[in-house]
Structure 1
Amino acid sequence: MNTLILIALTLLAGALLTPILIHRAYRAPRIQEHRSPADLGLPYRAVRIPTANGKRLFAWFIPLPEGIKNGPAVAVIHGWGGNAGHMLPFASLLHHEGYAVLLLDARNHGNSDDDSFSSMPRFAEDLEHGLDWLGHQPRIDPQRLCLLGHSVGAAAALLVASRRQDLACVISIAAFAHPVEMMRRQMRSHHIPYLPIGWLVLRYIERTIKANFDDIAPCNTIRQGSCPVLLVHGEEDESVPLADAQRIYANRLDDRVELLLLPETGHDSREAISTHGGSLLAFLRRNAEGLPIAMGRRDAG
Structure 2
Amino acid sequence: MPRLIVGVLNFPDTIRYTTTVSRRIVWFRRWSVLVPAATVLALVLGVGAVAVVGNDFAIRTETVTIPAASGELDGVLAWPDVTARPVGVVVFVHGDGPIDATSGGFYLPIWESLAQAGYASLSWSKPGVGGSTGNWLAQSMADRAREVEAAIDWVAARPGIDPARIGLWGASQAGWVAPAVAAGREDVTFVIMVSPAINWLRQGRYNLLAELEAAHASNEERERAVAVGDDRRRLLAENASYQRYRAETIDPKPMSEDRWAFARTNYRADATADLQALRHRGIPVLLLLGEEDRNVDIDETEAAYRTTLGPSLTVRRFPNARHSLVRTAVEDHDWWGVTVAVLTPRRLFVPGCLNAHRNFADRQ
Name the TM-score class by shorter chain.
Answer: 0.7 to 0.9
The 1-side partners of 2:262 and 2:161 are apart by 37
Q: Distance in 1 between matches of 2:92 and 2:142?
A: 16
How far residue 84 of structure 1 moved from its aligned partner, in angstroms, is: 2.6
Which residue of structure 1 lines up, in the alignment, with residue 164 of structure 2? 143
Q: Could you tell me how far 1:278 is from its partner in structure 2?
A: 1.8
- What runs of 5+ residues in structure 1 fail to find an aligned partner? 1-21, 289-301
Take 1:267 and 1:30, find their aligned partners in 2: how far apart are those partners? 12
Shift of 1:107: 2.0
> Measured at CA, do residues 266 and 196 of structure 1 come closer, stay the same or move farther in structure 2, by a change above 3 Å?
closer
Partner residue, 2:226: 191
Partner SS, residue 66 of structure 2: strand
Separation in structure 1 between the aligned mates of residue 297 and residue 90 of structure 2, nearest angstrom: 26
Aligned to 2:272: 219
Q: Which residue, 176, 183, 197 being the options, matches 1:162?
A: 183
| 1:178 CA drift (Å) | 0.9
1:102 aligns with 2:122: yes
Distance 1:194 1:100, change over 3 A: closer
1:261 alignment partner, one of 287, 308, 317: 317
State the AA in 1 paired with 2:349: A
Query: Kindly tell me: are residues 65 and 154 of structure 1, through their superposed partners in 2, closer, same or farther at Cα, counting changes over 3 Å?
Result: farther
What secondary structure, in the 3-state scheme, does the structure 2 residue paired with 1:237 have? coil
Call closer, same or farther: CA 1:177–1:96 in 2, change over 3 Å.
same
Query: Are 1:47 and 2:35 an aligned pair?
Result: no
Structure 2 Cα separation of the partners of residues 193 and 180 of structure 1: 14
CA contact (8 A) 1:175 1:244 kept: no
Cα shift at 1:43 = 1.6
How far 1:105 sits from its partner (Å)?
Answer: 2.0
Q: 2:236 aligns with which of 189, 197, 201?
A: 201
Are the equivalent residues in 2 in contact too, given 1:145–1:166 (CA < 8 A)?
Answer: yes
State the distance in 1 between where 2:60 and 2:297 align: 37
TM-score (norm 1): 0.72
Residue-by-residue CA offset, 1:189-237 (whole Å, 9 max, x unaligned): 743456664133146369963x793xx5223321111222111110110
Q: Is the aligned partner of 1:56 residue 2:72?
A: yes
- CA–CA distance in 2 between the matches of 1:79 and 1:144? 23
Cα offset, 1:64, TM superposition: 4.3
Question: Equivalents in 1 of 2:132, 2:29: separation in Å?
Answer: 10
Task: Evaluate the alpha carbon distance shift between residue 255 and residue 194 of structure 1 in structure 2; reply closer, same or farther with a 3 A threshold.
Answer: same
C-alpha distance in 1 between matches for 2:142 and 2:299 = 23
Q: How far apart in 2 are the matches of 1:186 and 1:276?
A: 23
Q: TM-score, normalised by structure 2?
A: 0.61
Give unmatched runs, 5+ long, in structure 2: 1-11, 16-27, 37-51, 213-224, 240-260, 327-347
Indicate the larger mover: 129-138 or 79-88: 79-88
What is the CA deviation profile of residues 217-270 of structure 1, one whole-angstrom value per residue up to 9, with x for unaligned ones? Answer: 223321111222111110110111222322322332420122111111001115
For the residues of structure 2 that align with 1:274 and 1:105, how far apart are their CA atoms? Answer: 28
Q: AA paired with 1:140?
A: I
The alpha-carbon distance between structure 1 residues 195 and 265, as it changes in their structure 2 partners (threshold 3 A), is: closer
Aligned to 1:284: 361
Structure 1 residue 166 displacement after superposition = 1.6
Q: Relative contact order (alpha carbons < 8 A, sep ≥ 6): 1 or 2 greater?
A: 2
Do the aligned partners of residues 176 and 46 (structure 1) sit closer, same or farther apart at CA in structure 2, a change above 3 Å counting? same
Deviations 1:114-134 (A, max 9, x none): 326244333323222222211
Preserved contact between residue 306 and residue 313 of structure 2 (Cα < 8 Å): no
How many aligned positions are there?
Answer: 255
Residue of structure 2 in register with 1:125 after alignment: 146
Is this contact kept in 2: 1:89–1:273, CA < 8 A? no
- What is the aligned-residue RMSD (CA, Å)? 3.2
1:163 & 1:108 partners in 2: Cα distance?
A: 27
Matched AA of 1:200: L
The aligned counterpart of 1:293 is none
